[in-house]
Amino acid sequence: MKKQKALIIIKPDAVQRGLSGTITKRFEQVGLTIIGLKFQKADSKTVIAHYPSTDVWFEKVGKRTLNNCAAKGVDPKIVFKTDDAVAIGKQVKSWLITYFQESPVLIMAVEGYECIEIIRKISGNTIPVLAAPGTIRGDFSHDSIDLANEAMRPLRNTIHASDTIEDGEKEVALWFTPDELFSYVRADEKIMFP
C-alpha cells in the first residue's frame, strides 16, 4: 500500500489562540509524518488557487449555505442580498481569502498510510458545533454557520485538512515546492508496519 499525502493548515483563529503546537501534536501522536512545515502569511494568489474558482464549486458551497438557511428559516436574500447559489459561493470564497490572511498560518504536509481518513477523523466535522468531542474542531471551536453568516464571514474552524487523496496531492504541490518536502521513515513505523 502506498502512503498518502495531505495538507493541513492551522488557520488564523487557532494560530492567534496559540493552539499550533497542540494541534500539530495530535497528528504526530497518531503516527503521521510531517514532511513539510512552514509558518507564513498566506499570499492571496495561493489562497485563491487553493479554493476552486469554478461554478461547480461555487454552486456546491452556495447550495450548502442555502440549505442551512432553509433549515434555520433564514431568508438568504436578507443575509446575502441574493438567493443565487453561485453568487453566494463567490461571496464565501472572498470571505475565505480575507480570513486566511488575518494572521500567519502554520502549513503542514503530512504523509502516512490512510492519511486522508486519519486527518479527517482527528479534525472532526467542518462545522465546529457538529464536531465530536475529542476532535480538533470539537475541542477548540464552537463556531456555527448561523454566527458566521450573521457576521458575514466564513466559519472559524481552526484547521483545513485535505479531504481526498487527489486534493491532498494537489494542495501539497500548491503550498510546497518539492525541495521543501522531506520524506523519511519514523522510528514507530518500524514497530507498527514491519
Amino acid at 97: I
Amino acid (one-letter) located at 136: I
**Calpha distance 168→58 (Å, rounded):** 20
Instruction: Give the C-alpha separation, 33 to 36, whole Å.
Output: 9
Cell numbers that stand for 158 in this block: 481552526
Q: Is 160 a catalytic residue?
A: yes
Phi and psi, residue 10, nearest 5°: -85, 115
Active-site residue (options: 160, 168, 175, 176): 160
Residue pair 162/17 in contact (Cβ under 8 Å)? The answer is: no
- Output the CA torsion sign for 35, 40, 45, 47: positive
Cell of 39: 509558518
Give 150: exposed, middle or buried? Use CB within 10 Å, 0-12, 13-18, 19+.
exposed
Which are the catalytic amino acids? 160
